[in-house]
Amino acid sequence: MNFVQAKKKVKKNVLQKSKIEPALKRNKPILIFLIKFFAIFIILEALINLIDLHLLTNLITFIVANFFNLPYLNSTIFINSSSFVVTNSCTGLVSLAILAAITLPLKGMKLKKRVLILAIGAVFLLILNIPRVGLVIYSGLLGFDAEMVHEFTWFLMSAIILLVWFYGIKLIQKEKDFSKLI
């Protein structure tokens, strides 16, 4: 590469950089929101996996197993020759972590209102999680692919999380323009 080619390459890189900078500046609030979202979610997800939640997993197991009259031990439900373990990730707390990660970074909204959305959402999501686990167990009882049902119900729960967030902001914050919150 000669000097002229190197100079053209540097000039091209400078031009590309100058095109990127306005885009970064324009999208800075979104980037900050995403950084906060991922930081909150990663921390909460790690805590969910590290904390001993056997009381909650055992409670969910107890409710679901007794509803279907199935044998269980601690957080394991037995169906014929299969067993289903209710883990920390099955408690509904991951759903709550996602709701927290999209609610807490919002700006222009008092902390009290964000906490109210989380509290109402927590009750709703944790209660709704029990039938979700029950549906997965019931699908295994019927011989369906329980893992497929598990994934389907997780996607359904993700949509419900977004609805809780959306209507929480609309009803509690009374905000129609969500871009003001990012």
Segment (H or E) for 164:
helix 146-168
In a domain, 24, yes or no: no
Q: What is the pLDDT of residue 106?
A: 87
pLDDT at residue number 176: 75
Burial class (CB in 10 A: 0-12, 13-18, 19+), 33: middle
Distance, in Å, from the CA atom of 158 to the CA atom of 5, rounded to the nearest integer, reads 51
**Residue 2 counted as domain residue:** no
Residue 78 to residue 84: CA distance in whole angstroms: 6
Q: Tell me, what's the pLDDT at 55?
A: 97
Q: What is the mean pLDDT for each group of 10 consecutive residues in the chain (182 residues)? A: 60 58 76 94 97 97 97 95 94 96 90 94 96 96 92 94 92 77 74
For the chain, state the CA radius of gyration. Answer: 23
Q: Which of 121, 50, 38, 122 is nearest to 88 (CA)?
A: 50
Domain-embedded: residue 126: yes
In a domain, 15, yes or no: no
Report yes or no on 14 lying in a domain.
no
Instruction: Please state the domain count of the chain.
Output: 1
**Is 127 within the bounds of a domain?**
yes
Taking the alpha carbons at both ends of the chain, their separation in whole angstroms is: 46
pLDDT at 9: 62
11 part of a folded domain: no
Q: Per the domain annotation, does 23 fall within a domain?
A: no
> What pLDDT sits at residue 118?
95
| Range of the structural domain that residue 121 is part of | 29-181
